[in-house]
Amino acid sequence: MKQRKNSFANFVTSHPWPIIVIFVAVTVAAAFQLRHIELDTEMKNQLPVDLPTRKNLTQIEKLFGGTDMIMIVLSADDILDIDVIHRLKEMSKKFEHIKEFDRVITLFTAKHISAECGELVVEQAIRRIPKSEKQKETLRHDLKENELVYGNIVSKDFKHTVLIGFLATDASDEKVVGQLEQLIKQTKGPGDALIGGMPVTRVKLSKDIRKDMSRFLPVGLVLMFIFLLLCFREARGVLMPFIMTVMAIVFALGLLAFLGWKIHTVTVLLPVILLAVANDYGIHIMARYQEERAENKELDSKQLAHATVQHLNQPILASGITTMVGLLCLLSHIIIPAEQLGILAAAGVAFAMVGSLVFIPAVLAVLPKSKSKKKKEKKIQDVATLMSRLLNFIGDVASKKSRGILIISGVLLVAFATGAAFIVVDSNPMSFYKKNDPVWRATHMLNEHFGGWANVSIVAKGDIKDPAVMKEIDKLERHLKKHPLVGTTSSIAAMVRGMNRVMNDNAASADKVPDKRDLIAQYFLLYSLSGDIEDFNKLVDFNYRNAQILAQVRDSGTRAATDVVHYTQAYIDAHPQAPFTIVGGLLDVITNMVDYIVRGQLLSLFLSILLCGVLVGAVMRSVVAGLISMIPLGIAVSILFGLMGYWGIELNLITAMLSSIMIGVGIDYTIHFLWRYREERRLAEPMDAVKITLRSAGRGILFNGFSVVVGFVVLLLSQFFPVQFFGLLVVVSIVSCLIGALVVLPAVVIVFKPKFLEPTESGNSTEELPGAA
């Protein structure tokens, strides 16, 4: 073993140039791939095809085309003011011409159907733009009477109106949103126009995340750099880990392009995870290098590099591989980008790990040995000495009050774990926005003043013209209206009911589905002659074999959508004779997917903790080692989820995915501590060994942890909640991993003196304490 270790270190330090050339070449090659990187933030492209809700969606879209709605909400003191209505007309005209829509509903496309003395009158809801106050009030009266319009496309206080477009199934979210923004710019006039609905929320969310990340991360990088400089106080100490991290990020992104993948919203996390994890290995190498240089003044560059690699290649390999395995647990996700994120993050870690063991020592071997700066160090009270003091303090406390630490952390752990019980699994995209944000306001208006922001769709199969089938559709639609979160509903049954009433001179008794099939068929023919049969294209298919009920949901959270779907499903289960075959839609798929991701992430988190335990156990050849290695991660998970529970931060797509960072850093910190402790324990008593370990390996751990914390604290300055959460959660994750590895773990090894850490008989076991036996 020792022999091999040496030969590895020998190899690295004796062939520095080829190694440097190879690493630089690979990085440059990866950098060249970067220009092929494509962005794909279309959420629809990320849905797994074999998800049951997705299959439902495909079925629905095959029958009725897209059901995903995007809206413009126009608000003014009075929508019927001449200037406002002129603008609305212009907007409506342009809106209708957008090719990505396969159905459009506005005040200017809406109809008014009425019956007067044996006549059927079908006309535009707005026949002409009012020119006088009197005409305006007449129009207001007409619109109030028009149940197709009132409360559905014009708010009951006439302060808001909505233009609704149903996206064609192949439409691009970003393209449509761009067109609508253009449209609003082009149609100048009074009133305030906002874009709302699911598609714009998707676009805004992914854009805002990218925008704020690219604004704040560079600042974070600079801060990280400065912090490391203060820690190491020499250029190479900072540059080596820093360059290695950047190389790892370039490599991972280059690999992404090379594999022909695209950057999705979730992939944004890749650089974040690598920033937090990948500099770890380089920092440990540099910390050890400085340590060796201070202790062994006679060694030259090459020998120093050799000694560093010799000591660290095992712990770095062990921590790197466990981290990779932990990250690869992301493969258990059902969404493709999460799987890709796992692979790419693991590849980046692999690159950083190998680079830190090979590339950095090779460079160090080539560089002239830098002068010791001892004199300076003694004079200046800087970060590094603060760190050392902190570590000394922790070492003292951990060794003297180890039992107390365990008890306190046990109590705190229970308290945090209790908080985790309050965690809410809900991805409400609106919770990411402030209340004055246009997206928030638009969604709020759609939910408050109109039928709701998105659709749940229910498909009925059978002879739709059959009164029995039609009546079942009618019943379910009425049942849906009773749900507090359901706003507007639309169905072919409601249209037939309306026609029946109108053809029977508005008799209230005729407001029902007629009993004769022929009459229903003739109503359809009538509508195709007097109205526009296209009005039905979302409600019934070409051959009248399938019909669709659309129920708009008035709450943007995933829980609301799930609730409506379950409510409907319960009705269908209770009415097995009813002709309904599918409940679903895009809202359902996204809801379902988000929940899958969140739950999947929890699963992959626990899976990776377990796997890491197994791996560490295997490497250290001890079950206890495995169990102990899980402690810091367990603590970190409890703290993170506990705080989220107490602070009311929902477990959603982003917060769940972020927990991957903990796997990376948590494992690394643990392994570096345990490895060094076992080494030091051969030479000293447990208490002293802990102190020495904290001063040496603890330094690297703390440098790494704090540098990441410093870098991510900047994100708290973002105005955008998800990015703030990014910052907050990364900081919480890392601090809790630090506490786990540097405070609790030392106390554990002192109190329990696990056998695998104690010197073996072949080693120096004379100092073994009686209590440890």
Site residues for another protein per CB under 8 A:
93, 97, 99, 111, 118-124, 127, 465, 503, 514, 516-519, 521-523, 525-526, 528-534, 542-543
Three-class DSSP category at 63: helix
Q: How far is the CB of 537 from another protein (least distance, A)?
A: 9
Contact partners, residue 763, CB within 8 Å, separation at least 6: 682
Selection from 494, 506, 490, 415 nearest residue 455 by Cα: 490
Which residues, in sequence order, are CB contacts of 356 under 8 Å at separation 6+? 241, 244, 281, 282, 284, 285, 316
Pick between residue 132 and residue 543 the one whose CB is nearest to another protein: 543
By C-beta, is 20 or 104 nearer to another protein? 104
User: Shortest Cβ distance from residue 60 to another protein (Å)?
Assistant: 15
Give how far Cα 123 sits from Cα of 80, 112, 146, 298, Å. 18, 5, 11, 97
Alpha carbon distance 384, 238 (integer Å): 13
User: 3-class SS at 553?
Assistant: strand
CB of 519 vs another protein, minimal distance in Å: 4
Q: What is the C-alpha to C-alpha distance for residues 160 and 137, in angstroms, rounded to an integer?
A: 16
* Helix or strand (DSSP H, E) at 546: strand 546-553
At position 86, the amino acid (one-letter code) is: H
- CB burial of 286-314 (b: ≥16 within 10 Å; e: otherwise) equals bbbbbbbbeeeeeeebbbbbbbbbbbbbb
CB of 470 to another protein, least distance (A): 13
Angle at 452 between CA 447 and CA 453, to 5 degrees: 95
Nearest distance, CB of residue 127 and another protein, angstroms: 6
Is 334 or 503 the residue whose CB approaches another protein more closely? Answer: 503
For the bound state, the minimum distance from the C-beta of residue 528 to another protein, rounded and expressed in Å, comes to 5
Residue 420, number of CB atoms within 10 A of its CB: 18
CA atoms of 539 and 595, how far apart (whole Å): 29
- Phi, psi dihedrals of residue 104, rounded to the nearest 5°: -130, 135
Closest to another protein by CB, 111 vs 369, is 111
In the complex, least distance from residue 531 CB atom to another protein, rounded to whole angstroms: 6
Backbone angles phi, psi at 101, to 5 degrees: -95, 140
How far apart are CB 493 and another protein at their closest, in Å?
A: 17
Residue 417: what residue type? Answer: A
Give the three-class secondary structure for 427. coil
Of 332 and 504, CB closest to another protein = 504
Kindly state the smallest distance separating residue 64's Cβ from another protein, in Å: 12
Whose Cβ is closer to another protein: residue 411's or residue 521's?
Answer: 521
Min dist. Cβ of residue 58 to another protein (A) = 15
**Measured from the CB of residue 492, what is the shortest distance to another protein in angstroms?**
14
- Name which of 99 and 376 has its Cβ closer to another protein: 99
C-alpha radius of gyration, the chain, whole number: 33
Looking at beta carbons only, is 49 or 529 nearer to another protein?
529
For residues 513 and 445, is the Cβ–Cβ distance under 8 A? no
Residue 575 DSSP label: -
Taking the least distance from each CB to another protein, the nearer of 232 and 523 is 523
In sequence order, the 6+-apart residues with CB closer than 8 A to the CB of 6 are 310
* Comparison of 109 and 696: residue with beta carbon closer to another protein: 109
Q: Is 3 or 543 the residue whose CB approaches another protein more closely? A: 543
Q: How far is the CB of 133 from another protein (least distance, A)?
A: 24
The Cα 644–Cα 193 span in angstroms is 36
DSSP 162-203: EEEEEEPTT--HHHHHHHHHHHHHHS-SSSEEEEEEHHHHHH
- Number of neighbouring beta carbons within 10 Å of residue 424: 14
Quote the least distance from Cβ 541 to another protein, whole Å. 9
Q: How far is the CB of 187 from another protein (least distance, A)?
A: 15
> Token digits for 477?
């639609």
Q: At closest approach, how far in Å is the CB of 119 from another protein? A: 5
- Nearer to another protein by Cβ, of 104 and 602: the residue is 104
- Closer CB to another protein, 517 or 559, in the complex: 517
> Which position has the token pair 């029995």?
468
Cα distance between the two ends of the chain = 27
Q: Which is nearer to another protein, 108 or 669 (CB)?
A: 108
Q: Report yes or no: 434 and 724 within 8 Å, Cβ to Cβ.
A: no
Output the smallest distance, CB 544 to another protein, in A: 9
Whether the CB-CB separation of 587 and 559 falls below 8 Å is answered with no
Place of tokens 């064609």: 168
Q: Which of 353, 351, 282, 352 is nearest to 318 (CA)?
A: 353
Nearer to another protein, 181 or 463 (CB): 463
In whole angstroms, what is the distance from residue 378 CA to residue 294 CA?
13
Residue partners of 200: CB distance under 8 A and separation at least 6: 70, 173, 177, 180, 439, 442
Nearest CB to another protein, comparing residues 90 and 396:
90
**Smallest distance, another protein to C-beta of residue 720, A:** 36
Q: Which residue in 153, 149, 162 sits closest to 191, CA to CA?
A: 162
The residue type at 422: F
Of 131 and 542, CB closest to another protein: 542
Other Cβ atoms closer than 10 A to 528: 13
Q: How many CA atoms lie within 13 A of 180 on its CB side?
A: 26
CB of 609 to another protein, least distance (A): 51
What are the angstrom distances between the C-alpha of 307 and each of 6, 140, 296, 371, 701? 9, 86, 10, 18, 20
Do 656 and 330 touch, CB atoms closer than 8 A? Answer: no
Nearer to another protein, 227 or 523 (CB): 523
